[in-house]
Amino acid sequence: MLPLRFAASSRRRKVKIATAIYTIAALVLILAVILPAAGPEFGWDFRDYWLAADRISDGNSPYAPAMLDGPIDAKGSDRYRYPPPLAVALQPLSNLPLQAASIIWLAMGIVALLAALQAVNRLFTTDKHLPFWHLGLLATLFIPFYVAAVEGNVSLLLAACYAAVLVGSWHARPALTGAGVAIGTLLKLEPALFFIWLLARRDWRASIWAVVIGTIIVALSLLAPGGREGWWQYPDIIQNILTGSGDYAQNGAPLIWLERMLDPTFHSLLRFIVVILAIIAVIFIARWQLVASFAAVSAISLLSFPVLWLHYLVVLLVAGLALWQHRPATRPYLAAAYVTAATSLSVVSIVLLLIAAAVGEGKISLASRLSRQPETVPTSSDSRSELE
C-alpha cells in the first residue's frame, strides 16, 4: 500500500505543478499576446454586454433604441441581442472600466472552458485521462478560442453549458443537465435543440429541471431594474434579428449560402424549413449512444442557424474531446476537424465532427468494423438503472 500511496502523492504533485505552470502561461498569453495583438478589437463583443449591463443598472432596458427600429444586421456595435439575464448578471462588471471588466470577463471564460474540458476528460477511465496541460494546449492552440478570447463573446461560457449537458447526462444528474440547457439557451438560441434532444431521449427529469431553472432565471431577471422592460421588448428584438442581414464574408453558415441563391421573399420560409429539419434530425439522432448523439446534436446546433462566426466552434471542443476519448476510431476525423477550424471553411470542421459522431455510432460501415466496442452508457434515460 505504501508505494501506491507515494505514487498517488507523486501524481497529485505533478498535477499541481502542471496546473500552476499552465496558469502562469495562460496569464502570459493574455497579457503578452492576446491584448497587444487584439488592440482596439479586444473585447469588441463584450463591450455590448457591458453597455447593456450599464443600462440595466440605470433601470433601463438593456437594448439600444436602434435595436427596436427594424431589421438588425449580424454585425455592428452596441448590438446586445441576448435575453436580459446576461445583462443582469454582468451588472457588477458595468461599474468597472471597460478594459478591466474585459480582462475579468476573459479570465472567467478561460476558467469556464478549462473546467468544462477537464470535466469531460474525467468522464472516462483513468488510463484515458489527458494531462491538464494537454487540455490547455488543446484549447489555446484552437484558432476559434483565440477569436473568442479577443472578441470577448459568450462562446467560452457556452462551451461550459454544453459540457454540463454531457456530464449531467452521463452521470444521470438531471439538475446539471437541465442547468446546462437552460443557461445555454438564455445565452444563445442554438442550445435550445438540446431540450428537444432531452425530450426525444425521454429524459423527463432533466427536461423538467431545464424548465424549472430557466423559469427561475427569467423570474430573477424580471425583478432587476429594467429587466421587465427588456423582456417586453425581446420578442421584437428576436424578430429584428431574424429579418436582419447575415450576408458577410466571415459568416460561414450554410443557410446564408442557400439564401444567396433565392429571392429574399423566400428567406423566412427557408429558415423555418431548416429549423424543422434540424428538429427532425435531433429526434432521430437521440436514439444513438450518448456521446455520439451529443456530438451530432452539437454540430447540428451550429449548422442550422443563419449565423456561423468562427468563434462559435469553441463549443465543439467539448464534443470532440468526448469522442476522442470514447471512440478512438473517430480520431482521424477529429484531427481533420481541429485543423480545418482554423480556415475560412469552418463549416467543413463541423461536418467532419458530424461524420466522426456517425463513425462513433457505427453508422459508417467502414468505421463500424474499426470502432466496435462494448457500450458503457445507456442510449436513453429508460435504461439508466443499468448503470446504477
Domain ranges in the chain are: 18-386
Q: What is the pLDDT of residues 85-109, one digit of tens each?
A: 999 999 999 999 998 899 899 889 9
Residue 38 is given by DSSP the state: H
Residue that has been written with the C-alpha cell 473517430 in this structure:
330
Q: Which of 215-224, 279-288, 299-308 has the lowest mean pLDDT?
A: 299-308
Q: How far apart are the C-alpha atoms of 370 and 14, rounded to whole Å?
A: 35
Residue that has been written with the C-alpha cell 501506491 in this structure:
4
* Residue 381 pLDDT > 50: no
What is the end-to-end Cα distance of the chain in Å, rounded?
A: 29
Q: In a 3-state reduction of DSSP, which class is residue 8?
A: helix
> 383 pLDDT band (50/70/90 cuts)?
very low
Each as own residue / partner, the long-range contacts of residues 198-205 (CB below 8 Å, 24 or more positions apart, any chain) are 200/282, 200/283, 200/286, 200/287, 201/286, 201/293, 201/379, 201/380, 201/381, 202/380, 202/381, 202/382, 203/169, 203/174, 203/177, 203/380, 203/381, 204/381, 205/174, 205/178, 205/381
* Residue 248 pLDDT > 80: no
Q: What is the pLDDT of residues 334-369, one digit of tens each?
A: 989 888 887 666 788 888 888 888 888 876 544 444
- R_g of the chain, CA atoms, integer Å: 21
Q: How far apart are the C-alpha atoms of 262 and 269, rounded to whole Å?
A: 11
Residue that has been written with the C-alpha cell 446576461 in this structure:
86
Q: What is the pLDDT of residue 198?
A: 96
Residue that has been written with the C-alpha cell 476537424 in this structure:
337
Does this model's pTM top 0.95? no
Q: What is the pLDDT of residue 365?
A: 46
Neighbour count for residue 102 (Cβ, 10 Å):
23
Q: What is the pLDDT of residue 69?
A: 81
Residue that has been written with the C-alpha cell 472516462 in this structure:
124
Neighbour count for residue 212 (Cβ, 10 Å):
14
Percentage of the chain beyond pLDDT 90 is 38
Residues 6+ apart with CB under 8 A from 237: 63, 67, 68, 72, 81
**Number of residues written out for the chain:** 388
Query: Residue 118: in which H helix or E strand, if any?
Result: helix 98-121
